[in-house]
Amino acid sequence: MNKYRTHNCSELTEKEINLDVILSGWLHRKRDHGNLLFIDLRDHYGLTQCVIENNNESFPVLEKSKPETVLKITGKVVKRSSGTENLDLKTGKIEISVESVEVLSNARELPMPVFGDQDYPEDTRLKYRFLDLRREEMHRNIILRSKVISFIRSEMLQLGFLEYQTPILTSSSPEGARDFLVPSRLNPGKFYALPQAPQQFKQLIMVSGFDKYFQIAPCFRDEDARSDRSPGEFYQLDLEMSFVEQEDVFNVVETLMINLFKNFSSKKMLNDKFPRITYKESMQKYGTDKPDLRNPLIIQELTELFKRDDVKFDIFKKLVKSGAIVRAIITKNTKDKPRSFFDNIDKWAKEQGASGLAYFTIEKDGDVKGKGPVGKFFSEESLKEIMKNCNAEIGDSIFLACGKEKEIEKILSWPETKLQKI
């Protein structure tokens, strides 16, 4: 029998009541009730509550032990009294009646507590990383990372890929960033480079006849930090396939990513298949080649409308005659928004470098009318046409931009991003 534990701290249930057990772990939290001392013992797997009476010879040991002290506890599994169960824990219906305690490692006063969800400065967290990683959220994230990588590896093998490891010390190759250099001991004055990606080696594998390659590859790039990766290094799923077309690559990545999110994310997926959007369509509808499809705001084409005689917005009409285009963003149910809402959007667009946005709200007072700075320039028929083209309703507002296509894509991508946050 293992001398440090018979069970882990997430394993004991009512089935083990009256069983003598040994647990080892960290003192997560303690609560002194005078005659009784309750402690939560934590290990990688979870928490178990332990209780000791003040007449136990080990009571003073636990009483003076600080959080994160490593303990070995021997005791008996007992049922918690009615009303004290914690159903959020697997072990929430039992506790350990402590018989003896052995301190495996004493802890001093902590620079940052492990218990709780407090925020701490990043420099403190990195300096005491061993404590930071004990916190529940961080511990859970590391476990998730391991499970995700294991899942990817399993899926790729099922899809017929084989995993190959490529060298880390290599010669320098032109990539998108600077290399990290490692001096060679045997060749003074010469240097190895750490790979920015396994590009050359995986291509060597493929031309050697290995049909499907993948690797969870470390990449090293001497560049400034980014918000979504550590400075200098990151891991990527790297894959190659022989005798395939673009659709084959799409199918592999789509299958992998959909299965990955279904297994590890609680968020609802918008589609069971990746939407296919051409570059032209993406730029026209969203003003960007990386649209957020959760955003209900779609950019609409209205250029032809400004060729009508019943549209009197002369500034835009003149621009359209000279080759400009007009596009719009529709914001739903904004009839009760204050004037400051519209002015702030217009002001914000100007701050980003645009010339501003024309806007009006569609109202109905007998006839369909446009309320706002430019609403008066549109007839009822033209407003109905806008409503039809833009899927707009009474109470919605229209933001308009006019100019060259590239300018419009840029201008409308800014307020679209801001409007979805309001």
Q: Which of 40-44, 132-136, 296-300, 383-387 has the lowest mean pLDDT?
A: 296-300
**How many Å apart are CA 9 and CA 182, to the nearest integer?**
44
Q: Give the pLDDT score at 339.
A: 81
pLDDT of residue 418: 55
DSSP string, 171-240: -----SSBPEEEE-SSSTT-EEEE-SSSHHHHHHHHHTT--EEEEEEEEE-BS--BTTB-TTEEEEEEEE
Beta bridge partners of 200: none
pLDDT in the model for residue 38: 96
Per-residue model confidence (pLDDT) at position 353: 63
Angstrom distance (rounded) from CA 11 to CA 77: 12
Could you give the 3-state DSSP secondary structure of residue 243? coil
- Per-residue model confidence (pLDDT) at position 183: 95
pLDDT digits (tens, 9 = 90+) for 362-412: 998 888 988 888 989 999 999 999 998 888 889 998 888 888 888 777 777
**Confidence band for 177, pLDDT divided at 50, 70 and 90:** confident
Looking only at the bridges linking them, the beta strands covering 325-331 and 299-301 are antiparallel
State how far the Cα of 268 lies from the Cα of 278, in Å rounded to an integer.
24
Q: Are 382 and 376 in contact (CB under 8 A)?
A: no
pLDDT of 137 over the 70 cut = yes
Cβ partners under 8 Å of residue 411, min gap 6: 287, 349, 352, 354, 357, 401, 403
Segment 191-205 shows an average pLDDT of 92
Question: What residues have CB less than 8 Å from 327, skipping those under 6 apart?
Answer: 284, 299, 300, 301, 302, 303, 400, 401, 408, 412
pTM listed for this prediction: 0.78
* Residue 336 reports pLDDT greater than 70: yes
Largest CA distance in the chain: 97
Q: What is the pLDDT of residue 201?
A: 93
pLDDT at 100 over 60: yes
Going by pLDDT thresholds of 50, 70 and 90, the confidence category of residue 416 is low
Lowest mean pLDDT among 41-45, 208-212, 330-334, 340-344: 340-344
- When pLDDT is averaged across residues 280-294 and rounded to a whole number, the result is 83
pLDDT of 217 > 60? The answer is yes
pLDDT number for residue 415: 55
Angle at 422 (CA atoms; ends 225, 412), nearest 5 degrees: 75
Q: What is the pLDDT of residues 222-244, one digit of tens each?
A: 887 777 666 788 899 999 999 99
- Helix pair angle (279-286, 405-419), 10° resolution: 60
